[in-house]
Amino acid sequence: MFASTTLMAEFESILLAHVGRTRFSITLDGMHRGLTDGEMSAEADRDGIPCSANSIAMVRRTLLLTLADELHPAPSDAENQSYLYREVLNYEHTSDLHRHIMTRLKQLQAVDRNVKLDPLGLTNLGRHDKRSEKLPEHCTKCWTHHAGECI
């Protein structure tokens, strides 16, 4: 595990349970298998979802910062890091993790107003497989889609 806290360990476990939906989960899986950025790039090419080693290195950096419970130091990376947090909102998670993710998203939004606070939904970052996945029902308390308890 790369996670630095129990909340981030939950975060990491959720991503690993859904490998293949986004470049984040694919890269994390490669990291767990000990692959280099170049090896992950070659694997992506072989699987028909090309991604350069440089792009994978950027995804790896975002994953490592996030799992260390840190925000990107560069404001230009805020929106990209938000995609990782928003991806985890698609899946069942604890109310503590939900609160933590929402806090982080609001911090990122303060840096970049393009950051959204809702689940990533059906967006497939880095994948061509556009499987249809059903979003959780709208929460009647906050009127957004989220898995887990509303805070």
pLDDT of residue 21: 82
CA distance 141 to 53: 43
Task: From 92, 82, 93, 87, select the one nearest 6 (Cα to Cα).
Answer: 93
* pLDDT band at 132; cut points 50, 70, 90: very low
pLDDT more than 70, % of the chain: 81
Burial 64-103 (b: 16+ CB within 10 A, else e): ebbbeeebbeeeebbbbbbbbbbbbbbbebeeebbebbbe
pLDDT of residue 138: 60
pLDDT of residue 87: 94
Q: Taking 50 as the threshold, does the pLDDT of residue 131 lie above it? A: no
pLDDT more than 90, % of the chain: 70
CA distance 35 to 59: 14
pLDDT of residue 130: 41
pLDDT tens column, 44-92:
999 988 999 999 999 999 999 999 999 999 999 999 999 999 999 999 9
pLDDT of residue 127: 45
CA distance 116 to 83: 9
Please state, as a whole number, how many other Cβ atoms lie within 10 Å of the Cβ of residue 113. Answer: 9
CA distance 26 to 5: 22
Q: Return the axis-axis angle of helices 53-67 and 78-88, rounded to nearest 10°.
A: 70
Residues 10-32 have a mean pLDDT of 94
